[in-house]
Structure 1
Amino acid sequence: MKNAKIVAVAVGLTMAALPGLAQAQDGEIGYEKGALAYDALMSGDNQAAVEKLESGQLSDPAVMINLGQAYARTGRTGDAAKMFTAAMNSNRSFDLVLADGQVIDSRKAAKIALNNLNERMASR
């Protein structure tokens, strides 16, 4: 079932909040600051993002997607694929807000992230 919750995560291209939302600068709408390791991902501190996200709620699609992104950036492509697949197959889904303001379902975002990962791997 789809929740009304809207969150911002980093998937492939950086995602951020829509203008005018209270926590737009944080990039973590509906979450405590740091819960999605948004700042670490944005600054390229991928190992810090991995550490933060691995200690988070691994059943949350937003956490899974960001952890997959952090894994991919640290060369853990197999683990990244597992996270993206888990987010795609999760019984939970909700809307994510892209940097360009586009709203996308978390399952679709995970699928895009997995496709991007596969394309990067195929081009090597």
Structure 2
Amino acid sequence: MKTAKMLGIATGFLLVATPALAETPSGEIGYAKGALGYDALVAGDNQTALTQLEAADGVSANDPARLINLGQAYKRVGRAGDAAQMFRAAMNSNRSFDLVLANGTVVNSRKAAKLALSEMNTSLAAR
């Protein structure tokens, strides 16, 4: 089973609550560095993350970890519709595997996508 490190759900909260996460050298597990835009997302460099994720360099365009991180990047730059589309695509993917979130939690990619979509919908409804 492939395990990927990806940006965790509610990463902004996690980074504020545990700033050491931003200082810990990390990245993608089982992917080329930058393939999932992880370090750029953790650093808050959303444009670099988008460039990396949209290029899908060495990663299937339908890879659930890529889709979830792309959704996170879209959400951060105000593209909620595109973010929701990415989260739904990851939820409905015929591929799924365990992901290591930024907080160290291991969760199935479908569940991570569902949580990300739910969190986004909750934050939009609260506006």
CA contact (8 A) 2:8 2:102 kept: no
1:51 positional shift = 1.4
The CA distance in 1 between the partners of 2:26 and 2:101, in whole Å, is 13
TM-score (norm 2): 0.83
Residue pair 1:11, 1:69 contacting (<8 A) in 2 also:
no
Percent identity, aligned pairs only, is: 60
**Gapped runs of 5+ residues in structure 1?**
16-23
Which of 13, 21, 30 is equivalent to 2:10? Answer: 13
When the two structures are superposed, what TM-score results if normalisation uses the length of structure 1? 0.85
How many residues in Structure 1 have an aligned counterpart in Structure 2?
Answer: 113
What is the CA–CA distance in structure 2 between the aligned matches of 1:33 and 1:69, rounded to whole Å?
A: 18
- Structure 1 stretch 79-88 or stretch 98-107: which is displaced more? 98-107
Query: RMSD of the TM alignment (CA)?
Result: 1.5
Structure 1 residues 53-62 or 110-119, which shifts more? Answer: 53-62
Structure having the higher strand fraction is 1
Q: How far did residue 99 of structure 1 move?
A: 3.1
Q: Which consecutive residues of structure 2, in runs of 5 or more, have no partner in the other structure?
A: 15-23
Superposition deviation, residue 27 in structure 1: 2.4
- Please point out which of 80, 85, 88 is paired with 2:83: 80
Cα deviation for residue 100 of structure 1 reads: 3.3
Deviations 1:23-59 (A, max 9, x none): x833211101110011110111111111110110321
